[in-house]
Structure 1
């Protein structure tokens, strides 16, 4: 599997992947995440324009999508955390909008490996009903840190993992 920067011409394929991911979520009992048109074509377009958007390819076919943001403060929703605390206040990356077509295994693993190849401190949040993602995070060494609230005011379970710089 290869990860490359998404391009604007990939938008229709990415939106198809997102719709497939929503179907997978619903089939796994997660009926409250990615509702009301989220993530929209406009959000994905902004991800691409900001160079945060990446696609996972197998044989030149897009099978996954994710947004990776790094920087001094990549997520304003992470400023306040309740019922816990972040592991550290070091610069971090965050993965958002991780989506799989369901046709390939290992999308999440590849996305997070890619993130850790760029930064050794990663935070992520997910809906409380997204048990497959929560299990993946826990099995991948992420620590549950508490609850954050996204821009629409809904809560998310927050996780973080830091690796030693020489492991990155």
Structure 2
């Protein structure tokens, strides 16, 4: 498998995977990604900021994520808890896997490779957040050593469960 930066020519494949994830969330009564976010403009901005990645298997894009070491302003305030560290941290956002590859350990692989890249960049911890009803993502984070830290609020004002892992 090849984990690499996303290019604009990957946009169609990335949007297809994100649309499948939106459908999965909707079918599981999870009110996340149901308001048009993320969309092509968001993905293009991630590509422009050099934070968007895809995972390929035999040349086929099977997953997408965002990996950033620039911090996240939504993480400046945390309620009902605390972050574990106050260091510079990495953030993994919007992990989405093609329906064809679900339940094959792809999410775990993305988290591991993201952590490896963070270590290469001398980053000492990783953070992530998810919707309170997104039990799949919560389970993925907890199984991979992330600890629940509290509640943050994203730009539209909705709350998210916040997690951190010391690397």
Return the TM-score normalized by structure 1: 0.91
- In the other structure, the counterpart of 1:166 is none
Return the TM-score normalized by structure 2: 0.92
| Aligned: 1:162 with 2:162 | no
Q: Secondary structure at the match of 1:62?
A: strand
Q: Secondary structure at the match of 2:126?
A: strand
Moved over 2 A (4+): 26-29
Distance 2:137 2:25 in 1: 10
Q: How many residues align?
A: 160
Q: Secondary structure at the match of 2:148?
A: strand
Equivalent residue in structure 2 for 1:137, among 134, 141, 152: 141
Distance 1:107 1:3 in 2: 11
Aligned-pair distance for 1:108? 1.4
**RMSD between aligned alpha carbons?**
1.0
| Aligned: 1:75 with 2:79 | no
Equivalent residue in structure 1 for 2:150, among 143, 146, 151: 146
Aligned-pair distance for 1:118? 2.0
Unaligned ranges ≥5, structure 1? 164-168
Unaligned ranges ≥5, structure 2? 119-123
Distance 1:115 1:57 in 2: 15
**Mean Cα displacement is larger for which, 95-104 or 7-16?**
95-104
Superimposed CA distance per residue, residues 86-113 of structure 1 (whole angstroms, 9 cap, x where no aligned partner): 0010110101111111212222112211
